[in-house]
Structure formats: C-alpha cells, structure tokens
A = this chain, B = another copy of it.
C-alpha cells in the first residue's frame, strides 16, 4: 500500500508551507556559469541539480512544465525525467505540469509514464471522466495525485470556462466533476488526491471554488509575473489554513541576472521570501 498523495502533501506542507515553484526552463535565463558551452538540455539539468538543492530547504513542491523540456526533443524529455528524479531525491514533491487529456489506452499510457516520473500531474478535463479514470486508478493504487484544470489564470479562460450553464458556469460544472472524482477515491484525511488548478488572477472565484471543492487541494498559479497577488489567495485556504498551494515560476527561478556569480544566494532569498509570503496567505485563510 502506497501512502496517499494527499497525506504526503499535507505532511510536506506542514513543514514548509504551501509554496510551489514552477520550473519553466529558459536557456537564456540560466546562470552563465552553469555548464557553459553544453547543449541546452544538459545546461538545464545542470542548473536544476544545483537549484533543487536550494529549493528543497524552502518549498513544498516543484512543478516542472514539460513543454519547456519537450522543446529540446528527446534530450529535453530526458532532462525532464532526470529533473523529476533529482527533485524527489531532495524530498520535494513533484507536480508534473503536463496538462494531458486523452481517452482509453492513450490515457492509460499517459498515466503510466507521467505518474511514474512525478508524484502528481495536471490534467485537462475537456474529455470528461474517461480521460481521468486511468489517473484516478493510480491515485488509489500507487499513491499518485492529479490537479485538474478548473479555472485557469489566462485572459481567454473566459471564452469557454465562464460560459453560463444554467445558473452556474462551465468551470463550476468541472468543479463538481472534480469533487465527484475525489469522493470516489475515498477521503481519509479530509483532502483527496484529486486537486484542482484555479488561477490566482481572479480572487473572486477562489471562495466559490473552495466551497465547490471541499476535498480538493487547490493549486494556484498566476501570482507574480501573471499579475495575481499572493495575499489575495487567502480565500483558497480552508479555515485551518490548509488546502491551497501557491505557485510561482519566473519571479523565483529568474530572480537573478545570468551573469550573477551569487545566483544561488539570490535564489535562496527569493524562495525563502516566497515561502514566508505563502505561509502568511494560508494563515490569513483562517481569519475569514
């Protein structure tokens, strides 16, 4: 019996707070001193080998975005695999930001590889339960987790996610599906391994989706570079200050100039500051 993802996450967050750092590698933002002259995928991996050691002291999880690895083809995919493994060796939970969504044997294949590489993955709900079921089976049997896109942080999220369906919206209907999937997995610890992605750029949505998703960890991207404010995420946390994960990427991982020889100190300071802000936002959730 593998340990439940929600329980592992709760344990880690109790120690570090709810900060998650997105890994969106950009070659032109890597420290100049890291593996100079090497191919992009090798430089990316060399950077994370050092950076994950720093991050592990401060944050709960990392969220590598596979697109920026796939960009470098099979060498990039290998760097994604190695990055996930390094992070887990450091005690960080890994949320693979893969946003996959497909059906049948295809969904099985995605679930098999991506929940082997990462502790949890992001999923797209457009195809419904069929596309999520193989992942749910692995949540139950192998301790994996999922975060289903419910309300994303980008401007055009309105086009589909905010369409009115009766008295609610498409994203509310998706939230109800996500809650059902979480219920079906049992719910020993209050939270289930079935989480949701809810953009932090629209604080007015957070309280409503928190109510619709009482069992779901809410993964909150969109703070920092995308314009959301950490302090506005309080509504995503429960009355005990739990159930939310605040994610930032560029503002942490690109907090230094590439030429800065002391980039590790800068990264440590940025990660520590972000972690502290995230803990404060969570504790503000208790004051509602």
Contacts and interface: CB of A to CB of B under 8 A. Distances in A.
Copy number in the complex reads: 2
A75 B158 CA distance: 38
* Interface SS, A side: helix
A110 B74 CA distance: 14
Given A73-B81, A78-B73, A156-B131, A126 B161 contact: yes
Given A101-B124, A126-B161, A109 B70 contact: yes
A165 B128 CA distance: 17
A67 B127 contact: no
Contact of A67 (B77, B102, B159): B102
A125 interface: yes
A239 to B, nearest CB: 31
A130 interface: yes
Contacts of A153: 103
A164 B161 contact: no
Nearest to A156: B128
> What band does the interface of chain A fall in when counting residues whose beta carbon is under 8 Å from B?
35 or more
A18 to B, nearest CB: 22
A261 B112 CA distance: 31
Contacts of A78: 73-74
A83 to B, nearest CB: 12
B113 A71 contact: yes
Given A74-B81, A113-B70, A164-B165, A159 B106 contact: no
A271 to B, nearest CB: 21
A170 to B, nearest CB: 6
A196 to B, nearest CB: 13
A129 interface: yes
Contacts of A232: none
Contacts of A177: 159-160
A-B CB proximity, top 10 nearest: A128-B156, A74-B78, A128-B159, A77-B77, A129-B156, A67-B109, A130-B156, A74-B77, A103-B154, A130-B154
